[in-house]
Structure 1
Amino acid sequence: MHNRQNIRDLIYYEVSDHLMTHGEGIYLYDAHGRQYIDCSSGTFNLSLGYGHPEVMAAVREQTEKLVHVTSSFQTEPVNDLVRRLVEVSPESLTQVHLKVSGGATANEGAVKMAQAATGRRDVITLFRSHHGQTMMTTAMSGEAFRREPFPLHFPGVVHVPDPYCHRCFYRQHRESCGLLCVERIDDFIDHASSGSVACVVVEPVSGSGGNVVAPDGYLAALRRLCDERGIVLIFDEIQTGIGRTGRMFAAEHFGVEPDAITTAKGLGGSGMQVAAILSNDALGGLDGSFHSFTYGANVLASAAAATTLEVISRPGFLENVRKTGAQITQRLEGLQAAHACISDVRGLGLMIGIELVDAEGRPNLPLTQRVVRLGLENGLLLRTSRYGRGNVVKIRPPLILTSEEADLIGDRLETVFAQI
């Protein structure tokens, strides 16, 4: 028998000393009864906060009937979810693949669909992208640190610069750049790929990579390039989808219809594990034996997801996301004017980033980590970009946020920066 007494020695991954006991709405509570506003929505997946009553009621009701059945059969919760997803998706996306167990496997499945439909191989993604933690999506994602420990990588991935106007790779300005970040993808295809590109996978707003919002015209130009080259365009909306940006999908902000959208995280409402690939007819036909997972199309999770979509689709809900997001952004812009360490505030809806720099304008990682620590001391749960390696603080509370709660977040952030 081993004699380790500390639970932290038994849990493989790192955990903090905080023992969390329960949550309600936007709030999480620890064993000492202390309350925190969760500005990370769990792992950006609690779109309706902790224990949303309608989602919990749907789960309780479904547990009395059927929790799981093989996805070869129909069930009402799955059928309901499929219909709702098609209804809220861009018009050209008419098919739903639910037999995926999370965002990473949704992204892998979308790539497989593109490869099967085009007969091509390569995948183009962005430098700072994050598409999952499986071996394929680890290779697809940007950031060298993700791949460093592993000797074998999925072949055929071409990484290209982000449309990161605040720190433009090409040292251009948006007013005069002519969207060089899209134009140069032609060069990457001609000179850095195998010559056989199946798809481009892009997050409309980067999740882990620093909350970089695609600039005006970027996604439309990317759509044109893909059409000219016969390449499939996939939007990874694992983090941006299901209302996070103030629209059901971020694609709506940009007026661009991709060939497929992947979605997960917020689809579960209050933490149920569910994901989906939404595709157009051209990507149909991939046999189920090539991409299906035991807990995909789960009946219990589908009941929660269908209820989540019903709540988010109600009149005024997404309008409130845009309103409270603008409220927080305005407070942050006021902080930016008062604190030189804040070099940029950017986002859509309740997906907001604060970029922190030193006196020379360089990314300031120690300060970013200090903001997170002070946030915790002041009752705010915050996360940073690039898995703690970045200089952007992410503000993404549950979408049920009220105007009063948005002000409270602003007040606590002002306290944090005053302490700095």
Structure 2
Amino acid sequence: MTSLVTEPDVRQAIKNHIYHSVSDTMMLRGEGVYLYDADGRSYIDCAAATFNLSLGYGHPAVIKAIKDQAERLIHITSSFQSEPINELVAKLVELSPKNLTKVHLKVSGGSEANEGAIKMAQVATGKRDVITMFRSHLGQSMMMASLSGNAFRKEPFPLIYPGGVHVPDPYCHRCFYKQQRDTCGLLCVERIEDFVEYASSGQVAAVVVEPISGNGGNIVPPDGYFQALRQFCDDHDIVLIFDEIQTGIGRTGRLFAAEHFGVEPDAITVAKGLGGAGAQVAGILTNDRLAGLAGHHHSFTYGSNLLAAAAANATLDIVSRPEFLANVRATGDHILARLRDLRRRFPQIGDIRGVGLMIGFELETADGEPDVALTNHLAKAAMKHGLIMRTSRYGFGNVLKIRPALTLTMAEADLICDRLEETFQEELA
């Protein structure tokens, strides 16, 4: 199978998907990795809502923490200290890379966290430009949409935030430079020098990078990439910011993907999974150099919310357990192994990549080109088999993603793969 519809139809279908993206399905309740609709059907949510339910639906420890806190105090201005916020700061400093000693919690979501980290870098360095990846997704605010990759994200807007410099992703399967990893010399880092010299203002404050791309297609950088990028930033006095809004809080089988890749960034942004079962919480973890941005430059009314902090504390207590993280790695490895077995029987499956429970795989035509139409078709068809799946690049990409709650059991991992195989057999045979 190569394509299900013609190219113009693909473009129109994608636009319909983007602008009319609310399903007719009414969901009523959830438990663990399962979501239940109004007709009584159950689904395994392979997207953990919006990749944010690290502990799944309705986790009792998170619910109890929120209820207990609600009986004492729901919200105060962040100008005052509070027990849940102080506890969360202490836990994040303890669990993060050793060079990160400060935490800014006066943000409510990932977009605000990324924007705040960039502001900190600009103030600390006295420079302005921001380097990001072609396929990056840093958030939905105007600054973050502007600095993210993908032209379609910016297309409707007459004015975008200036100073963004976009460079190729470390995407070995479809290398921008047409190289092979064993001989490339990591051109994806080396050639950033040219972008700085010819495409920037000459005043680059920060590189913002997702350790594994979220919306961009689950791209896992090759060994040595982040060490080379760290050295590049050090050589040019550029702040290295890890957007760990999707990769952080256990998603890769480590508390932070920085630990998996063996590098210390200057800042890490967190959100999504920090809330455990849906609490809205975010933060910016920084080294000493970036600390000290005045509150009037970046603070939000519902940042440092006490209910959210209580949920985050309960989440970190669970996710930080060695046995919990070991299970994330084991179930992720099991899913990857089963996907590789499926690829032997279904040639439409292309590159398979992932770390822990951040997994993606490409759908390709017979000549190896991205098959966007098939990817969107399979994501829709999977619902009939009890799977909720997301695609890459808001429907413009050819990657199906598997990122369930981190509480996933081995039996549930097998059930995901069984249902995926059933989908393939029905749609691709």
TM tier, shorter chain? Answer: over 0.9
- The reply to whether residue 416 of structure 1 matches residue 423 of structure 2 is yes
The normalised TM-score by structure 1 is 0.97
Where 1:96 maps in the other structure, the secondary structure is strand
* 8 Å CA contact retained: 1:89, 1:249: yes
> Which of residues 358, 364, 367 is equivalent to 2:374?
367
Residues 293-352 of structure 1, C-alpha deviations (whole Å, 9 max, x = no match): 000000110000010000111230000000000011111000111111111110100000
1:69 lines up with 2:66 in the alignment: no
How far 1:83 sits from its partner (Å)? 0.6
Distance 1:340 1:183 in 2: 34
- 2:68 aligned with 1:53: no
2:251 matched to 1:244?
A: yes
2:118 aligns with one of 84, 101, 111: 111
1:24 CA drift (Å): 0.3
1:23 matched to which residue of 2? 30
What is the aligned partner in structure 2 of residue 5 from structure 1? Answer: none
Q: Which residue of 2 aligns with 1:269?
A: 276
Note the C-alpha offset of 1:15.
Answer: 1.3
Structure 1: distance between partners of 2:261 and 2:23: 39
Residue 145 of structure 2 aligns with an amino acid whose one-letter code is: T
Equivalent residue letter for 2:362: E
Query: In structure 1, what is the Cα distance between the partners aligned to 2:308 and 2:360?
Result: 30
State yes or no: 1:180 paired with 2:187: yes
Q: Secondary structure, in 3 states, of the residue corresponding to 1:247?
A: coil
Alpha-carbon separation, structure 1, partners of 2:342 and 2:25 = 29
Deviation at 1:366, TM superposition (A): 1.2
Equivalent of 1:278 in 264, 278, 285? 285
Q: Give the 3-state SS of the residue equivalent to 1:29 in structure 2.
A: strand
SS of 1:105 mapped into structure 2: helix
After superposition, give the CA deviation of every residue in 1:6-58 in whole Å (9 maximum; x if it has no partner).
xxxxxx96411100000000000000110000000000000000000000000
Deviation per CA, 1:378-408: give whole Å up to 9, x if none: 0000000001111000000000000111011
Counterpart pick for 1:394 among 398, 401, 406 = 401
Residue 118 (structure 2) pairs with residue 99 (structure 1):
no
Aligned match of 1:345 = 352
Match of 2:171 among 164, 173, 188: 164
Does 1:140 find its partner at 2:143? no
Partner of 2:196: 189
SS for the counterpart of 2:72 is coil
Aligned with residue 128 of structure 2, among 121, 127, 130: 121
The residue type paired with residue 242 of structure 2 is F
**Which residue identity lines up with residue 105 of structure 1 in the other structure?**
E
Matched pairs, number: 409
Unaligned runs of 5+ in 1: 1-11
Distance 1:16 1:285 in 2: 44
Compute the displacement of 1:363 (Å): 0.6
Distance in 1, matches of 2:253 and 2:321, equals 13
Deviation at 1:360, TM superposition (A): 1.3
What is the distance in 2 between the residues matched to 1:335 and 1:92? 42
Q: Is the 8 A contact 1:336 1:344 kept in 2?
A: no
TM-score by length of 2: 0.95
The root-mean-square deviation of aligned C-alpha atoms, in Å, is 0.8
Aligned to 2:388: 381
Contact 1:346/1:353, CA 8 A, preserved across alignment: yes
Q: Match of 1:3?
A: none
1:84 aligned residue (84, 87, 91): 91
1:188, distance to aligned residue in structure 2 (A): 0.4
Distance 1:415 1:288 in 2: 53
Aligned equivalents of 2:344 and 2:226: distance in 1? 30
Match of 2:310 among 288, 303, 307: 303
Q: 1:280 offset after TM fit, Å?
A: 0.1
Q: Equivalents in 1 of 2:264, 2:374: separation in Å?
A: 39
| Secondary structure of 1:361 counterpart | coil
Q: In the superposition, relative to structure 1, how do residues 251 and 299 fare at CA in structure 2: closer, same or farther (>3 Å)?
A: same
Amino acid at match of 1:71: S
Partner of residue 206 from structure 1, selected from 209, 213, 218:
213
SS at match of 1:278: strand
Q: Deviations over 1:230-266 (max 9, x none)?
A: 0000000000000001100001111100000001000
Structure-2 separation of matches of 1:337 and 1:85? 42
Q: For residues 413 and 319 of structure 1, what CA distance do their matches in structure 2 show? A: 24
Q: Over residues 140-193 of structure 1, what are the superposed CA-to-partner deviations in whole Å (9 max), with x where a residue is unaligned?
A: 100000000001010000000000000000000000000001000001001110
Partner of 1:328: 335
Contact 1:125 1:141 in 2 (8 A): yes
Partner letter of residue 326 of structure 2? E
4+ residue segments displaced more than 2 Å: none
1:191-227 per-position Cα deviation (integer Å, ceiling 9, x unaligned): 1100000000000100000000011100110000000
Sequence identity, in percent? 66
Which 5+ residue runs of structure 2 have no aligned equivalent? Answer: 1-18
Per-residue CA deviation, residues 101-137 of structure 1 (Å, 9 max, x unaligned), is 1000000000000000000000000000000000000
